[in-house]
Each structure stands twice: as C-alpha cells, then as structure tokens.
Amino acid sequence: MATVQISRIQNRQGLSENLPQLAGGEFGWSIDTRELYIGNGTLENGAPVIGNTQILTQYSDIINLTDTYTYKGEEAGYVVKTGELTGQPITRKLQHKLDDFASVRDFGATGDGSTDDTLAINRALYELFSREENTQVRRSLFFPAGTYLITDTILIPPFAKLVGEGQNSSTIKLNSLSAPYVARTTDSLQQTGSNIGTESAITPANIEISSMSFETVKNNDIFLVESVEQMHFDSVGFKGPLQTSDLTVASVDVSCVRTNGTAASIPRNVIFDKCSFSNMTYAFNLDEQCQGWTVSNSKFETLYNGIVLGNAPVDGGPKGFRATHNLFNEIYSSAIVYDNVTTCSTAYNIFLSDCGNQFGSSPQVEVIEFGSDNNISIGDMFERNDAQSLVYPRIETGTTTSIAVDNTEQFKLGNYVRKTGVQATLTDNTSTKTTVFELDSNDVNAWSMDYTIRRGTAVRHGKLVATNRAVDATDSGTQVIYSDDYLEDAVTGVVLSVEHIVDDTYALQYTSGSLGTDATLTYSIAQLG
C-alpha cells in the first residue's frame, strides 16, 4: 500500500489483498472492500497480540468480527454457567448461533403480497430438507407475518417443519389456475405422483406445519397429502374463494384436503388439530386409501359438505378416520358423509342449526350420513330440534349396522332406532284428538311404543304397535294399522290412537276424559326405517 501522511497520523490505502502489517496506530484503508484497519502495535508496548484490528464501518462483516457467542441468560439475574467448569463457558461461532434459525426471507421470499415467492419458498425447502440427509442441516422454516404470493405448488419434502406467526398472520396464497394445489407433500427429491420414492429418494414422512394458512383465490384444491407417514397440522387455516352463493351445488369440485398414495405407501397417521376449513366445496374429500387420520378441535364453515369419505373409494378408501370435538357451521348439505367406508367415527362434535339446511331456515337433509356398516357417531351435539329431526334426522344410518348416539334420548343401530325416557302431558278433559308426536312414513315404516300413563293414583302400562301405512296402496286413506294392549289398576280415561295427518305424516294422538287432573305419558319408542 502507498503511505499517506496526514498531520502526524500515517495512513495506507490500496487493495485488501495487499494490506500489510500496520505500525501501531497506523490506519489502512482497503479501497476495494471499503474496510478500515488500525495497527495493534507491539507486545512490548502492551498490545495483547500483534496484528491489525478492523474498525467498524457500514461495510464491515459484523458476524465475522464478532466471531464467538456465549449464552448468558442475564435476565435471570445471574450469568448462566454453560460449561462443565466455572470460568470455562461454552463458546460458539456467531454464524452457527444465527443458523440455528432459518427464515424463509433468508432465501428471498418477501411476504409482501405482490412479489412471486414460489421459487424462494421451494428453494428454502429444498436446501433445508432435501439437499442433505444430515439431520444437522434441517431447521424449522419460519414464515414471518405476511402474505406469500405463489403461482405454482409448494413442494414439502420429508422432515420439513414450517412455522408461522398465526393463521391470520402468515399466509401462503396461490393466485394461478395452472397449479393443481397450493401445496403438496413430496419425497426427498421433491418428486411427486408416481415418481415418489424413485431415484432412491426418501418417501414423505414426519412433516409438521403450524400457525399459518394456505389459501387459494382460484378454484384449486388446497393441500394434497400424498404417500406420507406421520404428518401433523397444528393451527393451520385452509381457505378458498367460494361464497354461499357458489355452494348451492357441488359443481365446483374443490377441496381443502385430498389424499393420494399407493398400496406400498399409504398415507397414515395424519393429524389436524385446531385448524379451520372454509369457503370450499369440501373440507375433506377423500377416496384414496388412507389410515388413522384425525381432525380435532377445528372449525368447518361455509362449505357444501364438511367431510366426505369414500364416495368413489380406491383400494378400500379411508379407514380409521376420526372427527372429534369440532364445530360445524354454515354447511349447505350434510356436514359429514361416511359413504362406502368402514371403521370411521365422529364424536363430541357440535353442529349448529344451519348444517344441512341448504343455507335456509329449515332442515333439508340429514346432518350426518352413514352409507356403510361399522361406523359410529357418539356424543355428537346438534342444534336441530326433535321435531325437525323427525323429518330429516340428525344422523342417518339407513340399513347399515353403523351406530349413532346423538344428543337426544335416541339410540340408532343401523335402521333400528330406540328412543327412551320421553314424557308428555295429556291434558284433562280433551275431547278433540290432540297430537303427542308425528312420524314420517318415508323414514319410519313400523314402530312400537312401550308406555306408562299416570293420572292421580291410577297407573296404566301398555304397548302400542303401528305400521305407518295407509289402508289403500295409493296412500290416500285416513287410517293406519295399529294395536294398543294395556293393563291399568284404575281408570285413566285416556284413549290413544295413530292417525294419518297429511301426505306421509302420521301422528300419535289422544283424548282424555274429565277426571279433574292431567295425565303424564312416559314412553319409549322402537322403530324401523
């Protein structure tokens, strides 16, 4: 370097590669890197080491200058001991410390809602989880709050862990019809479909996604869970573009979640917890074989159907699917349809009154429908009342042997239904036939009622058997076939009858004599659909 004398301060300037050992107090300016150095001086003069010390400027590599890091935990009120011996703390390179954490923005994603972040996100996933099998390379990929616009599918390889700052804060949004999905699972080479596992790639496994959302503004499916073993979605949102006006028919076949796999690579043990599914035709529309899926503590809203399994099953379709502790709201048709599948369950879900109402005020279809044997609903709760459920049941098991126990006094085993513990007041001195309950012959072909009538001290116990069928084949008659056999220890003054009301509707009715007191009817009904 050339020597320049300014006052009594000596300076050198030149290229960084030509920086010599500077004299004590001498400055050296690297023109090409715009870095400033000062000579340390000699050991005799008290310098700890011989060499040059870099002076910080806006162009300094601070990480390399501050090369070591030691955890102190000073907020605890003392300095934490990190080494085996006091006074010998563990030190790490600062670069290694910072590399413990990976942000998608480190790879060029912006999250500004307008820049195309597709390549940056897929590059981050490849570099962290696909390029090297060494587990030390893998880092949780953080998505700071923002909207990450994409134009192609995000490819999520094995062992990936994606973490955002909340469902309403970190969003990956697809704005392209050319991509079939917002995101999908892949093997370690980011291969999909029939190529999964080829070229010695690791098949999808052990994937975690939390606190973020996947959204499409076009009519795309959102997430394809393909050939994965063990996957966990926690607090993840799945949102589409459809409104209630778009969901009166299922002509737009789009789903928040679909699955795909092979007999050798069945999607297993996939868990959705504290998630939300909205503004799509289906939340789940699964035909391919999958095993041991669970969706819990989640919200389903503004959908044509919530969960549809096995409409056209492949390799047996889903098995062991569990829907538990969820909320269903504003579902046009049935909230849950377990069609040609077995060993699937629903439990302790809440279905608000606008499920199965076709976005209207009254029921139009059942809330839950079982189309095959060996499924179960237990502890599910419905806002649909008893009168409405007589026309469109809360749970339809048809002729299957699937079991349903809802939030009424009713138990269903296939097409056998048992309703127990029901009471009604039979008013004194009622000469006009008055309805206790109604049944629809389209849903109930035959039924029997075990009952007890108490009126004062008089007790009557009996069994009434009826077939909900008019006398003539045109269903235009006014009588049905029924019998009422009973014993009573005193006169109760009650006459029970089964009457054809209108169309396919039949009613249990009563008249009562004037005995000065009302009667109480307690009954249990067994019926066949």
Residue 10 DSSP class: E
Banded model confidence at residue 503, pLDDT cuts 50, 70, 90:
confident
Instruction: Give the pLDDT score at 416.
Output: 75
At residue 305, φ and ψ (nearest 5 deg) are -125, 155
Tell me the C-alpha distance between 15 and 65, whole Å: 19
Residue 107 DSSP class: G
Banded model confidence at residue 287, pLDDT cuts 50, 70, 90:
very high
Q: Is 68's pLDDT higher than 60?
A: yes
Name the token pair of 111.
């999250």
CA distances from 262 to 198, 290, 308, 312, 435 (A): 13, 9, 20, 16, 57
Tell me the C-alpha distance between 132 and 57, whole Å: 36
Q: Is 332's pLDDT higher than 60?
A: yes
The domain spans of the chain are: 2-60, 101-237, 242-414, 421-528
Closest CA to 285 of 249, 321, 243: 321
Tell me the C-alpha distance between 21 and 33, whole Å: 17
Closest CA to 325 of 406, 395, 379: 379
Tell me the C-alpha distance between 42 and 492, whole Å: 119
Which class is domain 421-528?
mainly beta
Q: Is 235's pLDDT higher than 90?
A: yes
Tell me the C-alpha distance between 132 and 206, whole Å: 16
Tell me the C-alpha distance between 511 and 497, whole Å: 9
Chain mean pLDDT for the chain: 89
Instruction: Give percent above pLDDT 70 in the chain.
Output: 93
- For the chain, give the number of residues: 529
- Dihedral over Cα of 435, 437, 442, 446: its sign: negative
Tell me the C-alpha distance between 425 and 294, whole Å: 44
Q: How many CB atoms within 10 Å of residue 243?
A: 9
Q: Is 511's pLDDT higher than 90?
A: yes
Tell me the C-alpha distance between 146 and 318, whole Å: 35
Closest CA to 141 of 157, 119, 163, 172: 163
Q: Is 257's pLDDT higher than 90?
A: yes
Mean pLDDT over 349-355 rounds to 96
Distance of CA 475 to the CA centre of its chain: 47
Closest CA to 360 of 331, 339, 340: 331
Q: Which of 36-50, 269-283, 340-354, 371-385 has the lowest mean pLDDT?
A: 36-50
Tell me the C-alpha distance between 376 and 348, whole Å: 12
Which class is domain 101-237?
mainly beta
- Using a 10 angstrom Cβ sphere, with 0-12 exposed, 13-18 middle and 19 or more buried, the burial of residue 190 is middle
End-to-end CA distance of the chain: 99
Mean pLDDT over 261-270 rounds to 90
Residue of higher predicted confidence among 470 and 60: 60
Q: Is 485's pLDDT higher than 70?
A: yes
Instruction: Give the pLDDT score at 127.
Output: 94
Tell me the C-alpha distance between 451 and 469, whole Å: 22
Does pTM top 0.85 for this prediction? no
Mean pLDDT over 327-341 rounds to 97
Q: Is 475's pLDDT higher than 60?
A: no
Residues 6+ apart with CB under 8 A from 171: 146, 147, 148, 164, 212, 213, 214, 215, 237
Banded model confidence at residue 45, pLDDT cuts 50, 70, 90:
confident
- Using a 10 angstrom Cβ sphere, with 0-12 exposed, 13-18 middle and 19 or more buried, the burial of residue 394 is buried
Q: How many CB atoms within 10 Å of residue 152?
A: 17
